[in-house]
């Protein structure tokens, strides 16, 4: 049904997205928790900055990443020299781009879940002897779980479709950075590639649908599990 190249693109897409979501999750959680507690002037600005990747043209994001994480970019050069970590023209670069582009999906879902949490519960836990870390692990985290899971799945589904930032930052290298959308683009550029593009597009649509349905299902399931 799929050619080896197409299957490779699918597997690469899944790997890139999985790594992207897993790496962005702790940051999204930390940012959401921080902003749900902190009060300072300019908080709205920070809040906006965290959702910026959602509205910024992905090509611009890819270009910025190229400037910062390219082999001659300040961060890229340092990471390569000290950790041997290379992002440019590498699938890890694609994962980085996806992680940043889909960060707002995770951040916003967790933020909403925390916002919906009753602050009185934390007070009650405090009077029962629970310290801050204890309250976070046993109250905040389990109660925010539906939001965390739904955010991660939505971000994963969105990440499968990332095109602009990836192609700008790490180019379109078969087997390395050619994810599904890039493979579709490539097929369209190739004479006689319409059938392949159609197959891959159908696959993308199916994956997106499954992702969105899964997110809704998981949220409902966990919400019921925690007895809300």
Radius of gyration of the chain (CA): 20
For position 134 contacting another protein by CB under 8 A, the verdict is: yes
- Cα 138 vs. chain centroid, distance in angstroms? 25
Q: Contacts with another protein in 88-117 (CB under 8 A)?
A: none
CA dist list (Å): 76 to 17, 34, 41, 80: 21, 28, 33, 6
Asked if residues 138 and 125 have their Cβ atoms less than 8 Å apart, the reply is yes
Distance CA 169, CA 158 (A): 18
Phi and psi at residue 185, in whole multiples of 5°?
A: -55, -45
For position 82 contacting another protein by CB under 8 A, the verdict is: no
For position 5 contacting another protein by CB under 8 A, the verdict is: no
CA dist list (Å): 86 to 69, 94, 179: 8, 11, 18
Q: How far is the CB of 227 from another protein (least distance, A)?
A: 3
Among 127, 191, 192, 195, binds another protein (CB under 8 A): 127
Q: Contacts with another protein in 140-169 (CB under 8 A)?
A: 142-143
For position 131 contacting another protein by CB under 8 A, the verdict is: yes
Question: Among residues 69, 72, 157, which one has the least CA distance to residue 106?
Answer: 157
**Nearer to another protein (CB atom), residue 41 or residue 120:** 120
CA dist list (Å): 182 to 7, 159, 200: 13, 13, 10
Among 41, 84, 129, 191, binds another protein (CB under 8 A): 129
Asked if residues 126 and 161 have their Cβ atoms less than 8 Å apart, the reply is no
For position 128 contacting another protein by CB under 8 A, the verdict is: yes
Q: Kindly report the number of other CB atoms within 10 A of residue 221's CB atom.
A: 11
Distance CA 110, CA 190 (A): 42
**Nearer to another protein (CB atom), residue 84 or residue 120:** 120
**Nearer to another protein (CB atom), residue 16 or residue 114:** 114
Q: How far is the CB of 118 from another protein (least distance, A)?
A: 7
**Nearer to another protein (CB atom), residue 132 or residue 213:** 132
**Nearer to another protein (CB atom), residue 29 or residue 183:** 29
For position 139 contacting another protein by CB under 8 A, the verdict is: yes
Q: How far is the CB of 32 from another protein (least distance, A)?
A: 18
Site string for another protein, 186-225 (x = CB under 8 A): ---------------------------------------x
- Cα 179 vs. chain centroid, distance in angstroms? 15
Footprint of another protein on this chain (CB under 8 A)? Answer: 118, 120-121, 123-131, 134, 139, 142-143, 225-228
């Amino acid at each position: 049904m799929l050619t080896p190249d197409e299957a490779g693109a699918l597997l690469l897409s899944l790997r890139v997205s999985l790594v992207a979501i897993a790496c962005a999750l702790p940051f999204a959680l930390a940012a959401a928790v921080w902003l749900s507690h902190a009060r300072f002037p300019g908080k709205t600005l920070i809040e906006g900055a965290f959702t910026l990747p959602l509205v910024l043209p992905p090509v611009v994001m890819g270009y910025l990443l190229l400037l910062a994480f390219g082999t001659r970019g300040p961060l890229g050069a340092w990471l390569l020299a000290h950790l041997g970590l290379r992002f440019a023209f590498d699938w890890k670069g694609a994962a980085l781009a996806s992680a940043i582009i889909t960060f707002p999906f995770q951040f916003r879902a967790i933020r909403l879940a925390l916002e919906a949490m009753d602050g009185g519960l934390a007070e009650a836990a405090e009077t029962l002897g629970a310290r801050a870390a204890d309250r976070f692990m046993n109250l905040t985290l389990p109660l925010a779980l539906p939001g965390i899971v739904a955010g991660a799945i939505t971000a994963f589904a969105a990440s499968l479709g990332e095109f602009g930032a990836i192609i700008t930052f790490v180019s379109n290298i078969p087997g390395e950075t050619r994810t599904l959308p890039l493979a579709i683009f490539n097929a369209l550029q190739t004479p006689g590639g319409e059938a392949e593009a159609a197959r891959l597009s159908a696959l993308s649509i199916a994956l997106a649908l499954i992702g969105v349905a899964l997110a809704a299902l998981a949220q409902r399931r966990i919400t019921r599990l925690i007895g809300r």
